Amino acid sequence: MPAETVSPAPAARTVLEVENLSLSFRNADGLLPIVTDVSFAIAEGEAVALVGESGCGKSITASAIMGIAPDNAEIGGTITLNGKVISNLSPRERRKLCGRHMGFIFQEPMTALHPTLSIGRQMTDTLKHNLGLGHAEATNRAAELLDRVGIPRARDILKGYVHELSGGMRQRVMIALAISCGPSLIIADEPTTALDVTIQAQVLDLLEDMRRELNLAMLFITHDLEVVGDFCEKAVVMYAGDVVERGFSADIVRGPAHPYARGLIDAVPAHDDGRTRLTPILGTVPPVGQWPEGCRFAPRCTRADAKCRTRPSLERHGLTEARCWHPLEGRP
C-alpha cells in the first residue's frame, strides 16, 4: 500500500504587516525624521518584539500603528491589519479600530487608567461602546475578564479605583481591558518595566497564557533582549529610528550580527552571582535631528571606519538581517 501522505499545516494568518513605515514631525523648519523604513509582520499566535534603548523609536512606531501619533506627525509606508490597509484611514477612523481590533497595554497603568472612575466603570464603558452590551451584561463580562487574568474578588475590584491596587494588579486590569473586546492584535509597550522582578515574571506568564489561549498576535516593546529570547519568536532591533537587525529572537540572542544588538545582550546582568562584568554601550542615543550621516550607530561602535559614513542597507548576514558594514560573526 502506498505510504499515507500528511498535508502540511496551513500557514498562520498574518494579522499585522508594516511595510516601509516612516514617521516625521512637522515643525517650523519643515519635517523632522523620527522613524525611517521600518518593516515587519506578525502572524496570529505570534509575538514580535521591538527592542532598543529609550529614544530609538519603538513607542512612536506603535503609536503610528494604533493611530494615536501626535497631530503634527507625517506618516508614510503601508500598515495592513487583517488584510485591510489601514494606513490610509484618518486618525479618527484608525482610533475606532482600537479596542475591537487592536488592544494596547501601557507601561504605566497609573497614567493610563482614569483616577476618578472606578475600575468597573472604565471596563463596562469600553464593553458597551465597542460591543454594544447592556449594563448587566457588561458588568458580568468585566468580572469574568478580571477573574480570567487572575484577580481575586473580581466583583469587589470592579467597585474600586486604580490607586487602591498594587502595581501587578493594575497591570492585570490593563491586560483585561486590552483583551476585553476580542482584538486580534495586542500591543504591549514595556508592560513590566515598572514592576519588581517577581511580578514581572507573573505578568509575562499571564501575557503568554493569553496569547496562546486567544491566538493573539502581539507586538511587544522592550529594551530587554533577555525577555525577548524567552517570550517572543521574532525581534526587530531599533536604533535612532532605524531597524538595525531583524530575525528570529533566538538567533539574535545567540549570535547577533549587529554590534548594537551585541551591546544590548552584553549589558544584561548574567545569572552567575556577579562574577561576570557588565559591558555597557558607551555614549547615548543621539537626539532626533542630530543623527550622524551614514550608520547612526557609528559614533558608539568600536568597529566603525570611514565606510560607515555611508548608510548601510538591511541585508542578510548569517541567520539574521542586519544594517551593518562590518557585521559580527555570530558567537554565543
Full pLDDT tens readout for the chain, 332 residues:
555 555 555 678 999 999 999 999 998 888 999 999 999 999 999 999 999 999 999 999 999 999 888 889 999 999 999 999 999 998 788 878 988 999 999 888 888 899 999 999 999 999 999 999 999 999 999 999 999 999 999 999 999 999 999 989 999 999 999 999 999 999 999 988 878 888 888 999 999 999 999 999 999 999 888 788 889 999 999 999 999 999 999 999 999 999 999 999 988 776 656 566 778 888 999 999 899 999 999 999 999 999 999 999 999 999 999 999 999 985 54
Task: Tell me, yes or no, whether 250 and 226 share the same domain.
Answer: no
pTM: 0.91
Task: Tell me, yes or no, whether 240 and 150 share the same domain.
Answer: no
Please state, in angstroms and rounded to a whole number, the distance separating the CA atoms of residues 136 and 128.
Answer: 10
Chain-centroid distance, C-alpha 12: 20
Task: Tell me, yes or no, whether 308 and 178 share the same domain.
Answer: no
Position of cell 486618525? 91
Position of cell 463580562? 141
pLDDT the model gives residue 29? 84
Task: Tell me, yes or no, whether 200 and 285 share the same domain.
Answer: no
Task: Tell me, yes or no, whether 225 and 300 share the same domain.
Answer: no
Domain boundary among 232, 252, 281: 232
Please state, in angstroms and rounded to a whole number, the distance separating the CA atoms of residues 80 and 78.
Answer: 6
CA 316-321-322 angle, to 5 degrees, is 105
C-alpha distances (whole Å) from 175 to each of 104, 136, 253, 268 are 8, 21, 27, 27
- DSSP assignment of 70-109 equals -TTEEEEEEEEETTEE-TTS-HHHHHTTBTTTEEEE-S-H
276-331 pLDDT tens trace: 677 888 899 999 989 999 999 999 999 999 999 999 999 999 999 999 999 998 55
Set of cell numbers at residue 158: 470592579
Task: Tell me, yes or no, whether 137 and 219 share the same domain.
Answer: yes
Position of cell 483616577? 115
Instruction: Evaluate whether residue 4 is within a structural domain.
Output: no
Q: Tell me the residue range of the domain where 61 lies.
A: 14-232
Please state, in angstroms and rounded to a whole number, the distance separating the CA atoms of residues 167 and 269.
Answer: 24
